[in-house]
Amino acid sequence: MTISRPTRIVLRCLTILILGVIYVPLALVVVNSFNVNKTFAWPPKDFTLEWWKRAAESQGALDALWVSVRVGLAATVIALVLGTMIAFALQRFRFYGREAVSLLVILPIALPGIVTGIALNNAFRTIFGWELGFVTIVIAHATFCIVTVFNNVIARLRRMGSQLEQASADLGASGLTTFRLVTFPLLRSSLLAGALLAFALSFDEIIVTTFTAGAQEQTLPIWIFNNLFRPNQAPIVNVVAAVLITVSVIPVWLAQKLSGDAESMGAGR
Amino acid sequence: MAYLGALAALFVTALWSQNSFTGLIEREWSLDSFRTLFTVDVYRTIAFRTVGVAALVTVVDAVVAFPIALYMSKVARPGLRRFLLVAVLMPLWASYLVKAYAWRGMFSEGGLVSSVLGVVGLDSPGYGLIATIVTLAYLWLPYMILPIYAGLERLPNSLLEASSDLGGRSGTTIRRVVLPMVFPAVVAGSIFTFSLSLGDYIAVRIVGGTNQLLGNVVYDNVGAANNLPFAAAVATVPVVVMLVYLAAVRRTGAMESI
């Protein structure tokens, strides 16, 4: 430690200040969801549970939540299957265009969301001539969810090597038995971590969703966005936002426990 | 594969045109969309404004991320370090929309920003470009902290000791040893903050007041105006800017530290 004491104190103060700035706006939303007043006026005069009760009865919010959950589950399942397959292909085999494939997997999250969104919108509507709806949202979400599964699985495959699988084959197990009894159990926690992150990613996505959702289907972020500018809905939006802040932490925390390193948390977009 | 196809199709669409009479898309080759983009003043202003906002967001993030990353990697003890890492990453996964919404509350009339600034006798900037920059910088901050932290982790402590043995004070060491060494990491982080800001339109709608960025133009042309060719042409701007930026930073060796 060669950083001098005064510098360290300055750094500590800056860190506390920055963490404060990171958490104050989020805390404010949570506090505001109990605010009697309908606006953001600070400081709140009194607190109430009224908005939470009303939010629980809000049909629009509940419907949107249900759509979000179904989209998230479907996209996660697709991402699990495809992401795992791509990870196996890239890790176990050397083939022409291997680098290109790995770039392609990352591209949907490296480019601005609006480019991904409009590209998919264009493909669905003008190229395939499809109606936008539930299916197109799921496909769009699966496109960028593959990355999180892929990242988690390929990291695990790299660490695990192939000795155990070879040993299993030497002992006479067929490919399927080896996968069922050796490979899959070793991959299980990384698959779960990837799935949790994929679900969280899909649940939160709005930019790509606005371009790929039809008029009928509303995911929760879209519902929030549509109701954001309606003064009457403000308290309910506050409650939904407060719930999301609390809930979004859970899958990330679980995923971090499962994969055992903080790196994978930042791996997805 | 389907994704690459969609991307290619997008650029092809940019070269089609919209029939100004029927509003339908005609599959005829034309550079009209790009001509509009380059000749109409409004779009030029918006393009420059977008790049400017993205650049400012990146600078703000780098300035804010550096001290916290330095504290985490070189000052904090391991236990505290793990805690800080989680504390910084948690908001990364909190909902994007909720975070932008939180800042709408901060900047609202009578909100926290105006109460705090009121104490020192200043007015809140309200919704506008400043609010947009603050909100975007807030949204992408973790993407800057993480690479800088990783870069500082790789920086051996012995270098800092050598610098102080040679008589360098903390300030000098940071300026002449630490900063040059983590520069590639800062560039790596800037790729995310810059790219994400270029494409954003939601935060702008929420806190940006009447200002528009390229993302809004794209969105409006896909939705209300249904002018997909023009939207596609506008969408190529951030892609081209990003490609130029990526080509420029390849020389710094930042690509390896992503």
Hey, are the CB atoms on A3 and B74 less than 8 Å from each other? yes
A5, A9, A126: best to mutate for the B interface, most B CBs within 10 A: A126
* H helix intervals, chain A: 5-32, 50-57, 59-92, 98-110, 113-122, 134-160, 163-170, 175-178, 184-204, 207-212, 220-227, 234-259, 263-267
Residue A139 belongs to some domain of the structure:
yes
Residue A8 belongs to some domain of the structure:
no
CA distances in angstroms from A165 to A95, A156, A179, B10, listed in the order given: 21, 14, 8, 44
The set of long-range contacts for A160-168, using a CB threshold of 8 Å and a minimum separation of 24, is: A160/A186, A162/A92
Closest CA–CA distance from residue A119 to any residue of chain B (Å): 5
The CB-side HSE value for A151 (13 A sphere, CA atoms) comes to 25
The pLDDT tens digits for A135-193 are 888 988 888 888 888 888 888 888 887 788 888 888 888 888 888 888 888 888 888 88
Hey, are the CB atoms on B235 and A29 less than 8 Å from each other? no
Residue A123 belongs to some domain of the structure:
yes
| Confidence (pTM) | 0.78
**Domain span including residue A162:** 58-268
pLDDT at A269: 38
Give me the total of CB pairs closer than 8 Å, taking one residue from chain A and one from chain B.
229
Task: Look up the CATH number of the domain holding residue A242.
Answer: 1.10.3720.10
Hey, are the CB atoms on B98 and A39 less than 8 Å from each other? no
Angle, helices B228-250/B41-70, rounded to nearest 10 degrees:
40
CA distances in angstroms from B254 to A173, B148, B151, B257, listed in the order given: 45, 11, 10, 5
Mean pLDDT score, B229-240: 79
Which amino acid does the sequence have at A138? V
Q: Over 60: is that where the pLDDT of A200 sits?
A: yes
Hey, are the CB atoms on A107 and B3 less than 8 Å from each other? yes
Contact between B13 and B232 under an 8 Å Cβ cutoff? The reply is yes
CA distances in angstroms from B119 to A217, B112, B113, B114, listed in the order given: 46, 11, 10, 9
The pLDDT tens digits for B11-63 are 566 555 554 444 455 555 566 666 676 677 778 888 888 889 999 999 999 99
Domain count, chain A: 1
